[in-house]
Structure 1
Amino acid sequence: MPSNNKEVQSPTENSLIECEEQDGKVKLKKELGLLEGVAIVLGIMFGSGIFISPKGVIQEVDSVGFSLVIWVLCGLLSMIGALCYAELGTAIPKSGGDYAYIHEAFGPLPSFLYLWAANLIFVPTTNSIMGLTFAKYVIQPFFPNCDMPDVGVRLVAAAVICFLSFINGYNVKATLKLQNVFMFCKIGALVSIIMIGVAWMGMGNVSHFENAFANSNTNPGKIAKAFYSGIFTYSGWNYLNFMTEELRNPFVNLPRAIYISLPLVTGIYVLANTAYLSVLTVDEMISTDAIAVTFGNAILGKFAWILPIMVAISAFGGLSVHIMASSRMLYVGARNGHFPSFLSHLNIKKNTPVPSLFFLNGLSLLMLCTSDIHLLIEYCTIVESAFVMLSVAGLLYLRYTQPDLPRPIKVNIFFPIAFVAICLFLIVLPILDTPLALCGGALCTLSGIPFYYFGIHVKQKPKWFQNFMRSLTVFSQKIFASAHEEK
């Protein structure tokens, strides 16, 4: 695979790029400010998770009180991780997020395996989860008293994934404007649920919180699986790091976007779950796959149709921003020679990574082979948690090997150590309860090793392989009107 390496840019070089935004070159543009950065983080985090994961948490811990504790702890864990990523993002101001940090700390093979696992597992899986959530909430009102058709759900999910991939490739500015609108819509939807719950509790309906910790499940493996559902809902706090090169003044705007987003998200998620639990019993939450619909039917009567629309909007916006951010990760990996070079091309008119968007779109559609959202969450989160842990471990390693590396933000050493220890706990403990998901994720990740050695480590490729890759690159350039980024 031909390499198209690009060195990490210094702050001075970033300033030069910002000055050259209008020079007509084929390159990523610095079009993201603080508001757009906050919108991206909130757009990802306020996606589909809060409307599907409460079931996954409470069915593992079996109590109202313990489930709320899990939601608070997941928020704290995300805040610690975000602080660590603020240091990584400003010390290594390069798009690609975890991929760039693992590459800087541990070299090409671990970073390639991250890229491999991301594109085989958690990026397309997350796209399919969000697409399925959108589809189920859109279709649910048409089948109030019977099961939704599984094929119909998958077809709607596939259609929305394809549509948003096209929009992201067509115009970045239009996508960003879409994110700003959906951010306020999604916050409004969650605030509505919270206000309904507060009003319901204000009327004296607090019986569900009596003996809140009764029957709590203290099995460590079950607790870890409950964390997976919560962590999936909070996932997205690191996605702005994928787009550092498109962020104006990243040394200021990256940490500010994190500091604004994380406390807001944690408070809203805890309050939203409190609202759910004030209306629904534990058994009712466990028995539903569309918790907002069940919540609305129980309390809103003829106005219950409002909540499925709100959830669909939330999932739609979250999917859009996830597609945008994850395509940049694949783009940067290909630019470093870790994937075929045509994936590092930009459309010459729109300056968007259209080949990467198309490639991830195809993989996301393959993940729709199942519509079991909770199975997909479990499979996805185990692998993603392992690589997030590796990224933060890279922070510790770089503190040791490169103590003089400029760090505009430097967190207390306690935070990365605590984060790595907690992630290790979450990865190891569920082995007895979910061995197939863990082993499947590990095998898919390790399967990238032979591809790495043949595609990257071996310098002299067979002639047939070189001709094939050259033809594929030319075909991609013609189809997507794309070219290499100009320095």
Structure 2
Amino acid sequence: MESENKSFKPSLGLTDATMIVAGSMIGSGIFIVASDMMRNVGSAGWLILVWIITGFMTIAAAVSYGELSAMFPKAGGQYVYLKEAYNPLIGFLYGWSFFAVIQTGTIAAVGVAFSKFTAYLFPQVSEDIVLFSVGSLHISPAQVLSIVIIVFLTFLNTKGIKNGKLVQTFFTTVKLLSLFGLIIFGLMAIKENVWQANWQNAWNIGHLNADGTVTKYAGLAVLGAIAAAMVGSVFSSVAWENVTFIAGEIKNPKRNVGLSLFLGTLIVTIIYLAVNYVYLAVLPLHDIAYAAKDRVAVAASQQAFGRIGTIIIALMIMISTFGCNNGLILSGARVYHTMAKDRLFFKKAGTLNKNSVPEYGLWIQCIFASLLCLSGKYGDLLDMVSFVVVLFYMLTIIGVFILRKKRPNAERPYKTPLYPVLPAIYVLLAAAFCLLLIFYKQNYVIGGLVIVALGFPLYYIAMKNQKKSKPLMDDK
């Protein structure tokens, strides 16, 4: 029997929380995005520098969130921070964007990535096979498998936080060990001639063409290219904030949420840099940029392990994406639960089942993510994810400054290190990233802004319904 009066049970320790941070971050991105990044910057030095910039921004944002998580150690995370720093409208715009594109779109993309790499081992689930068609919509075994995985993980998480915790800890541990193996064996397989050639003109930036030539950028187009390259690294580095959504289920959240954010983002940043060094150690720049279907990790693994490399990397990505989706699914529904408590989402999403988890919110998320899998539009949505995510990261970290002024005497068990310098640097870098995309890569921006803007009428509909004492989108 469901109850609106049930509360979340604090059952996750620091290790569990750190595993959620790392496991939610590491999905399919690190295995594929280096190709597009290399096409945009055309050199080894700039590829690594873009990852360093992204890593610095990620860690800076994470430790800044630590202060907010200590101030508001309850379920809902970023939605709560924005609501408290600004107003309910800004919180809702984030929650709406989170549901419409950030979380569900990522779940869909990671699920399909799982299926695509499963097809390496079992061709019967290939995305190129059509199981059946509905009008112009063609459904492949890969799409069906991705939905099965999402449904399975959703069902598992409805049975309680402990099940999700066990899956997350196990798969993240295996994922990290696998990545360490790829790094170690990849560096052991270093090709000196390839390495030296890759670093010969390390700081010459330009667009690397398919024929091997490099087209130089003119003026500020260099900054646009860097921002375009960062779309890939940023997408690979998001979702660390998922741990803040489940703060109500973490032991000693005032300490452990902030510490897990720092440890998780630091670990993943180091791993990401090391993996890219492996790519540069075994593959020429052209082969990184134009790996088949951007699967640069497959190409690197073949060089490091031989023919068995394809199987190894397929298994690694299956493990990685499975664990990543578990973390995304586990944490996402907690945001909808908090929004429902504020009467800004389906009413029943605000209830907990007998296992003290928001089962209704989990299934709503599952249905929407599954529809995105079927639509085939998840790829288009993910082009917008980096812009929308960084936009809300920036607003949230500005919130640290706002709350310092609005609530100077509020309890802050953890404070942002190097305040105000560190969060200010992040805000400047994030603003530059967003502005450069607006000027140079509008296709990454327009759709995202449209989705955010749709939240305005929905919010005012919610306010109108609240005046009538009815929650938004009441399911009755």
Question: TM-score, normalising length from structure 1?
Answer: 0.86
130-139 or 453-462, larger mean C-alpha shift: 453-462
C-alpha contact 1:333 1:339 (8 A) present in aligned 2: yes
CA distance in 1, matches of 2:375, 2:205: 31
Residues 176 and 212 of structure 1: is their aligned pair in 2 closer, same or farther, counting only changes over 3 Å? farther
The answer for the alignment partner of 1:322 in structure 2 is 328
From 105, 110, 120, the equivalent of 1:140 is: 120
The answer for the alignment partner of 2:157 in structure 1 is 168
Residues 101 and 399 of structure 1: is their aligned pair in 2 closer, same or farther, counting only changes over 3 Å? same
The answer for the alignment partner of 1:299 in structure 2 is 304
The answer for the alignment partner of 1:187 in structure 2 is 176
The answer for the alignment partner of 2:75 in structure 1 is 95
From 43, 55, 65, the equivalent of 1:85 is: 65
Within the alignment, does 1:403 sit opposite 2:408 as a pair?
A: yes
The answer for the alignment partner of 1:447 in structure 2 is 454
The answer for the alignment partner of 2:133 in structure 1 is none
CA distance in 2, matches of 1:422, 1:467: 36
Within the alignment, does 1:115 sit opposite 2:105 as a pair?
A: no
Residues 467 and 269 of structure 1: is their aligned pair in 2 closer, same or farther, counting only changes over 3 Å? closer
CA distance in 1, matches of 2:319, 2:328: 14
Aligned residue type for 2:144:
L
SS in 1 for 2:6: coil
Residues 172 and 468 of structure 1: is their aligned pair in 2 closer, same or farther, counting only changes over 3 Å? closer
Residues 343 and 468 of structure 1: is their aligned pair in 2 closer, same or farther, counting only changes over 3 Å? closer
The answer for the alignment partner of 1:13 in structure 2 is none
CA distance in 2, matches of 1:340, 1:169: 17
Within the alignment, does 1:366 sit opposite 2:371 as a pair?
A: yes
Within the alignment, does 1:385 sit opposite 2:390 as a pair?
A: yes
C-alpha contact 1:132 1:373 (8 A) present in aligned 2: no
Q: Structure 2 matches for 1:394-473, cutoff 5 A? A: 394-411=399-416, 412-461=419-468, 469=474, 472-473=475-476
CA distance in 1, matches of 2:14, 2:471: 44
RMSD after superposition: 2.4
Within the alignment, does 1:333 sit opposite 2:339 as a pair?
A: yes
Residue correspondences, number: 444
C-alpha contact 2:82 2:91 (8 A) present in aligned 1: yes
Aligned residue type for 1:61:
V
The answer for the alignment partner of 2:213 in structure 1 is none
Unaligned runs of 5+ in 1: 5-24, 474-487
C-alpha contact 2:255 2:414 (8 A) present in aligned 1: no
CA distance in 1, matches of 2:460, 2:473: 18
Residues 116 and 445 of structure 1: is their aligned pair in 2 closer, same or farther, counting only changes over 3 Å? same
Within the alignment, does 1:67 sit opposite 2:47 as a pair?
A: yes
The answer for the alignment partner of 1:254 in structure 2 is 257
SS in 2 for 1:406: coil
C-alpha contact 1:46 1:187 (8 A) present in aligned 2: no
Aligned residue type for 1:194:
I
The answer for the alignment partner of 1:279 in structure 2 is 282
Aligned residue type for 2:237:
Y
The answer for the alignment partner of 1:45 in structure 2 is 25
C-alpha contact 1:66 1:212 (8 A) present in aligned 2: no
Give percent identity, aligned residues only: 27
C-alpha contact 2:66 2:259 (8 A) present in aligned 1: no
SS in 1 for 2:116: helix
SS in 1 for 2:352: strand
SS in 1 for 2:190: helix
